[in-house]
Structure 1
Amino acid sequence: MSATATPSVLDRMLDPVRDCLTPEVARRILALRADPVTQAKLDEYAEKNAGGTITPAELDEYDAMVQAGNMIAVLQAKARAVVGR
């Protein structure tokens, strides 16, 4: 994030988490990846969404997966700040 960018609410809310991370925990957060089954489902939903064939139930699950991925990405940014210290 650039110095001039306005931090997101999620980013600001998770700042205290960064302050609690040890380097070891930060490295474990950086290593987080979706398991193969979850990644395959995410890829399937992304394809269906792009093609306009996703069902409402699938879209709800896809949205939840994307939101979880966004939260993990913010946590990983916080973890990078700890490891880089």
Structure 2
Amino acid sequence: MKLSSRIGLGALLAAMGISTVYAQAVTQPADPSAPKTRAQVRAELVEWLAAGYDPLDWVNYPENAQRAARIVAQQREQRGNAPTAVQ
């Protein structure tokens, strides 16, 4: 498989995993149908990567994503369930 295909698929999996876990872990804003900004999505990805998520680790998927989701959820809970502040 070409490197560009692997990177594209990894990015797609990361985006799907992040959006799913984020929707479950964080209380929704006043308008849940409002789209996220690019900065919000990037901030979430940074949180996941810091928690140990590797979008290119297909061998350990979905355990890798679930572990990172738990870590991110715990960090958010310690902060008082506040979503990531992006300026």
**TM-score under structure 1 length normalisation:** 0.32
Q: Is the radius of gyration larger for structure 1 or structure 2? A: 1
- What TM-score do you get using the length of structure 2 for normalisation? 0.32
More relative contact order in 1 or in 2 (CA 8 Å, sep 6+)? Answer: 1
